[in-house]
Structure 1
Amino acid sequence: MTSPLTALAGLISSGVQTLESAYAKEGLSFPSLDQPFSPGPLDKDPDVAATTRLIVAAAHQIIATVRAPMDTIQDYAPAMYMSATLGLAVDVNVADVLKDAGTQGLHVHDIGEKVDIDEVKLARVLRYLATRHVFKEVTPNVFSNNRISSVLVKAHPLEQLKTDKLTKYEDAPAAAFVGHCTDEALASSAFLAEYIHEAPADVDAPFNLALKTPSKLWNWYEEPGNEWRGRRFNAAMKGGGEHFPSTLFTEGYDWKSLKPGSTVVDVGGSVGTVTILLHKAYPHLKYILQDLEPVIGDAKKFWDAQSPKSITDGSVTLQAQDFFQPQTVKNADVYFLRLILHDWPDSANVKILKNIRAVAAPSTKLIIFDSIMPHACPEPGGPPPPPFPLLANLGLPIGGFLTMMDMQMLNIINGQERTLNQFVELGAVTGWKLDGVKPGILAALVFSPA
């Protein structure tokens, strides 16, 4: 039998050959790590993405396999320095300073002058990052952007970035994500162990301990002085949402089976980015978009710009509604929630789902678009395992991201990414039974009244 080490090496070798062949068919070479990122024709190719996931999973597992255990622990334990240095680089706009420096780079003295940081300390920070393949040290103390750091370049000119904090992260999702993770989330993570160990009854999440606030994250973002952080968070989430293909929603349920005029309620649907996808694909249905009053105000502007006729002809209705309050739309054919449940603990989700169940008709369907947390081990009746000897959840590319998101949810809002069984259990205690699941990077879980 092939040894785990040989099998992992084989996965990497065959995967690399597959990638290079795919790029060769397009007349391209595989992108260099030393060059700034440039969008290419294979960036969203599903086969390339699947091969990449296998390579990354195998590469991380082979490192964990061959490296001395203590070396791995010494890598993981001080990982906060990656967050701290990356956050600093984004905050002071290093990638933006290097944007026009080209591959020859810029001396740290000149970078330091532009970002107003001591060059010796800045060189230490950038060398730490370059050693981990974020930025490149071209010659001693001379740094340039590379494929990874170039995605941190923001959309506005450098002088505007320095003076206008409110708009700093607009149209810069990668920088916004880093900023959020390395600011309020990093500060909160220092209290994660205390929160789990002591479980203070009057504290929602580690975030509250770290920021010394009783407010939930969403309310904290609206407090004076934090508005720019709220804008940054929204920019990060908007960028994350754009990674989801529209087919996750338009093909996640058999919408064609609904009779003309059937009512579909988007519960907590923000401005309606998913509702508008469904409306364009299935115009025979009636849609009701629900969210809090301020969000519905933004939704009106969104629909006025994108599809004003949908509002005036009554095919789409915008409705202010708090999903913790009794649901006002009764007997709808479909209620759906997109990335709502992972924002809340079970106690809150019980209220949300019971409010919908109270007004559901026997034929009503509840659709939950959310991630399903896979176990790191094989599951009875679960999906086919990946190639030997990879972890059942594929490690870093799939399980790594979702377990990170799970910790992030716990850390800042006491939310949770859930396994399939946890979704089933949540449905059972709120009067819903699971009919089926369409898997994907966001799964579509379809429930009926129990």
Structure 2
Amino acid sequence: MSGKTEVQALLRIINQATQDALAAYANSGEDVPSLSSVDETSVLTMANNLHLKRAVRLLEGACEQLCATLAPPGQSIVDRSQTPVSNCLRAATHAGIADVLRGHPEGMHVKDLSLLVKIDEGKLCRILRTLATRHCFKEVDVDTFANNRLSVALLKNSPIMNLADLYATEVGNGGNVLYEHLSDPRSNGSYHPAKSPLMYALKGPGNETVGFFDWLRSTPDREKNFNTGMTGVGTLMGSLALLEGLPWGKISTVCDIGSGVGAYAIPLVQQNVNLKYTLCDMPATIDQAREVWTKEFPSAVESGKVAFSYLNFFEEVAPAGQDIYYMRAILHSWTDDQALGILNNIRAAMKRTSRVFIHDHLIQSSARVKNVTAHAQLGVDTAPEPMLPNFGSGKKRTFNMDMSMLITCNSKERTLPEMITLGRRAGLKLVKVWDLVETSIVELEFE
């Protein structure tokens, strides 16, 4: 396929995906949003609409590939090497700029804003203009800025703000020494959690003695940011409620392993009156979960539709005989041997008809070869030509998450073959893959 033919094909994909996105809004009874909107509910509106997410995945991948094809290579490389946007975003979140502008829909001049956030006027203006150029905040007049559709996600009451801070701070710090970590023989070949690039940056070469989660527990403010940020991850990942075609009428029990507070499961429990949902995590987390559910869905707690169970998934067998054992963003934090230990403790509790649902990002190769495209038969979506089969930038958050796991935990997101191999080691076999666009759920059963 010639370069011109590829460009024309990409344009057709972009046009069709745009129409599909417009249709997703129309079919949901929602207006197409304006970038100028400061409606705070828009952060979650359509966040779980799979039709929209599929269309946007195509748009992101095809548009990026179109620009990479037509732009001079040097321009594209420089774009990929720069981190100022992340730095500016971190400054904006820590200064609470979105919250200050919340009370000024008409906008605020940087001269006045700088006094409130205690950042030099000239530097603040450059930070905000850099972000506004990427459609985060809006410059309504020269040197006068207001919130917009993207910046309202940076309000202090939005967990997306905490997630952005996690990426810009911890992942950014570890990423800055990624090459040094890789070139140091003490850490290059190690997958020990304490030997991550982030610990290399925080503790210094040769002094890495604790892993990311132990470090968090010793740093309460960052642990709080992380825990809230994981709620933000939930808005991107979706939940079991998105599985179209799962026979919920025949499913009576779900056990959520490493559930956190599990607030994402509230809609699922509300929709299925005969479902009992058990949250399993460490004591402090489960105690917090009980408080959240008692506040948000008290009737489920009172009736026993939701149960709370203390569980160390490395050392203890999960509650017995559940229909579904569900893990969301759990296995990607651990080595294969650690993940195998978790799966073994689940398998020991399973009945013959139980299923395991592993909800993580699924890594796909960018090579258009048969053993990659054949994954479509198992439920993995594949992009049309001439796009990369893994959707390229349409899946950038998946590959960014994979690198984030390397940087923070020395762990990884897995490919489908790696998931299948891990399952077999635990005596489980693949049933199918549920592609949820941003993430995937790998369904396993007894071998």
**Structure 2-normalised TM-score?**
0.82
SS of the equivalent of 2:125 reads: helix
Cα pair 1:253 1:444 within 8 Å, conserved: no
- Structure 2 match to 1:77: 81
- Structure 2 match to 1:403: 399
Distance 2:28 2:275 in 1: 41
**Residue identity matched to 1:189:** G
- Structure 2 match to 1:113: 115
Cα pair 2:277 2:306 within 8 Å, conserved: yes
**Residue identity matched to 1:423:** M
Question: Which among 245, 248, 261 is matched to residue 271 of structure 1?
Answer: 261
Distance 2:41 2:266 in 1: 27
Range with greater deviation from structure 2 (226-235 or 137-146): 137-146
More helix by share: 2
- Structure 2 match to 1:214: 209
- Structure 2 match to 1:191: 177
Instruction: Using the TM superposition, give the Cα deviation of residue 110 of structure 1 relative to its aligned residue in structure 2, in angstroms.
Output: 1.8
Deviation track 1:398-441 (CA, whole Å, cap 9, x = no partner) reads x2110011111111122321111111011122222222333324
What's the % identity of the aligned pairs? 31
Distance 1:332 1:101 in 2: 51
Instruction: Using the TM superposition, give the Cα deviation of residue 331 of structure 1 relative to its aligned residue in structure 2, in angstroms.
Output: 5.0
**Is structure 2 residue 15 aligned with structure 1 residue 3?**
no
**Structure 1-normalised TM-score?**
0.82
Instruction: Using the TM superposition, give the Cα deviation of residue 21 of structure 1 relative to its aligned residue in structure 2, in angstroms.
Output: 7.3
**Is structure 2 residue 141 aligned with structure 1 residue 148?**
no
Distance 1:134 1:430, change over 3 A: same
Distance 1:396 1:314, change over 3 A: same
Question: Which among 55, 60, 64 is matched to residue 60 of structure 1?
Answer: 64
Q: How does 1:122-133 map to 2 (within 5 A)?
A: 122-133=124-135
Instruction: Using the TM superposition, give the Cα deviation of residue 240 of structure 1 relative to its aligned residue in structure 2, in angstroms.
Output: 2.6
SS of the equivalent of 2:314 reads: coil
- Structure 2 match to 1:159: none
Distance 1:54 1:110, change over 3 A: same
Structural RMSD (CA)? 3.3
Instruction: Using the TM superposition, give the Cα deviation of residue 237 of structure 1 relative to its aligned residue in structure 2, in angstroms.
Output: 1.6
- Structure 2 match to 1:176: 162
Q: How does 1:370-381 map to 2 (within 5 A)?
A: 370-378=360-368, 379-381=372-374
Cα pair 2:365 2:390 within 8 Å, conserved: yes
Distance 1:292 1:59, change over 3 A: same
**Is structure 2 residue 400 aligned with structure 1 residue 412?**
no
- Structure 2 match to 1:94: 97
Taking CA–CA contacts closer than 8 Å with sequence separation of 6 or more, which of the two structures ends up with the larger relative contact order? 2
Instruction: Using the TM superposition, give the Cα deviation of residue 275 of structure 1 relative to its aligned residue in structure 2, in angstroms.
Output: 5.9
Distance 1:342 1:310 in 2: 30
Distance 2:316 2:25 in 1: 54
Instruction: Using the TM superposition, give the Cα deviation of residue 72 of structure 1 relative to its aligned residue in structure 2, in angstroms.
Output: 1.0
Query: Which residues of structure 2 form unaligned runs of 5+?
Result: none
Instruction: Using the TM superposition, give the Cα deviation of residue 74 of structure 1 relative to its aligned residue in structure 2, in angstroms.
Output: 1.2
**Residue identity matched to 2:234:** G
Cα pair 1:101 1:144 within 8 Å, conserved: yes
SS of the equivalent of 1:381 reads: helix
Instruction: Using the TM superposition, give the Cα deviation of residue 186 of structure 1 relative to its aligned residue in structure 2, in angstroms.
Output: 1.1
Deviation track 1:23-76 (CA, whole Å, cap 9, x = no partner) reads 789999854434545656984554444333322222111111111111111111
**Residue identity matched to 1:346:** D
Instruction: Using the TM superposition, give the Cα deviation of residue 252 of structure 1 relative to its aligned residue in structure 2, in angstroms.
Output: 7.1
